[in-house]
Amino acid sequence: MIARGSGILIHLTSLPSRFGIGDMGPWAYRFVDFLVQAKQNFWQVLPLNVTTPDHYSPYTSPSAFACNTLLISPELLMEDGLLAESDLGRPEFPTDFVDYPTVQPYKEELLRKAFSVFRTKRDCNYDRFVAENRTWLEDFALFRAFKHRFDQRVWSDWPYEIRDRHPEALASAAQELRDQMELERFGQFIFRKQWSKLAEYCRSKGVQILGDIPIYVDYDSADVWCNPQYFKLDERKKPYVVAGVPPDYFSETGQLWGVPIYRWDILEQDGFGWWIRRLEHNLEFCDFLRIDHFRGLAGYWEVPANEQTAINGKWIEGPSKRFFKALLKRFPRIPIIAEDLGIITPDVRELMRDFEIPGMKVLLFSFGDDQPTNPYTVHNFEKNCIAYTGTHDTNTIRGWFDAEASWEQKNRLREYLGREVPVEELHWELVRLLMMSVANMVMFPMQDILGLGNETRMNYPSRSKGNWKWRLRPEQLEEHISNKLASMTTMYGRA
């Protein structure tokens, strides 16, 4: 069970920097210092996986193991002697949102420059990193090299001998593509080096990192290309069913994710080894892992691949307790947090209870007409949970109040607080509600700590474009905010 504490949710992309996107450089350390000043114990980030130019979602990635090299800090590359100030140019990027189409080529060119210098030096730590991560790194590097060679086509459309991984064809291609593969290995090495340094700084300051992984992997990924036997694919190696969720709070037609579904029967034959390796790997980056769409481990929504919405799906039983019993053989405690929002059935609750896995409570969901019995209402919380004002998928407090809340919801909020609260103070009152609750951990999106509106929302689950862009401006990390948060954290026994 997680000890009583509190923390802030903000992804690395949202931090300030002079390079158009947050990274693992100086401002990441300043943010950790802000957490310390505010007496926060946790920093929650979104998945660190590689993203794609389709929509830059951290929940859709070409690898369940490789990390996002857009988060590499040019300043730290300069400290290592791999870049010079003249290499950086004079970039002019927006300060309050990420312009991905401009940022990506700029950062990729910097990485290539650093790589050209690195190749002349060599580093025994690099050789060790490659050897220790060979089980996933070689496949990922080759996958990315093939994506470049075949004009970013989906792997199932590659020449059949490459698509089907004929050993002679792969060995020959690896020789031809060795420079591109080495660049991919280098990017992962530098990410790990910079993240390890940042994570150690967090530990030295008493800040624990809460990471995040999506339950599913993208079809066009190294994972599915290398392990097609683990997924429900047809004879052409195309998904015949895909994952999603039925209609719910977020969408009247459900969410059709289009990602392949696991063949849990095959995964179970080797004790869920692929999943255990995935969790081991991701836990090298953080102290706890939130599994997005946790309920898919108990039962998942399976939709025929030719459907246009998620309405015509059906529930299929997942690996459930067998999976978690296998995890217990590897982990003395299961350092997992369940994203258990949406339609949750008794079998999911039983699974969480049996293995003492904490779930999530979202305060913004609590002001409906069922407020007295609503599980997200503060007086119904249990200790072993993580309570949020909102998440990356919801509006901010201010955005919800201004643009989404009905008159009835606003009235219930007013009655629950016991007084009329000026709208500019509302975010602090809801932060206080969670702080005084029994929930062991409470988590606040940075936008809610700052009282920001709808324009700073991180993600709309029903939209495929325009998400993941919000950035914190340097001047917003004001001392009076950290002081107020520290005072509240101390008062309610979370410091």
Neighbours of 2 (CB within 10 A): 20
Q: Helices (H), strands (E): how many in the chain?
A: 19, 12
299-304 and 241-245: which strand pairing?
Answer: antiparallel
Tell me if residue 292 is catalytic.
yes
Tell me if residue 75 is catalytic.
no
C-alpha dist (Å) from residue 99 to 19, 74, 95, 102, 456: 10, 17, 10, 6, 14
Neighbours of 294 (CB within 10 A): 22
441-445 and 5-9: which strand pairing?
Answer: parallel
Of 138, 292, 340, 448, the catalytic one is: 292
Distance of CA 161 to the CA centre of its chain: 34
DSSP state of 157: G
C-alpha dist (Å) from residue 388 to 280, 338, 393: 26, 13, 12
Q: Which residue has the tokens 């997200």?
A: 376
359-362 and 385-388: which strand pairing?
Answer: parallel
Instruction: Name every residue whose Cβ is closer than 8 Å to that of residue 287 and which is 6 or more positions away in sequence.
Output: 208, 209, 210, 211, 335
> In this structure, which amino acid lies at residue 431?
V
DSSP state of 426: H
Cα distance between residue 69 and residue 187, in whole Å: 6
* 153 within 8 A of 141, measured Cβ to Cβ: no
Of 220, 223, 339, 448, the catalytic one is: 339
Of 393, 402, 455, 478, the catalytic one is: 393
Tell me if residue 99 is catalytic.
no
- The packing angle between helices 134-149 and 124-132, to 10°, is 90
Q: Kindly list the catalytic residues.
A: 292, 339, 393
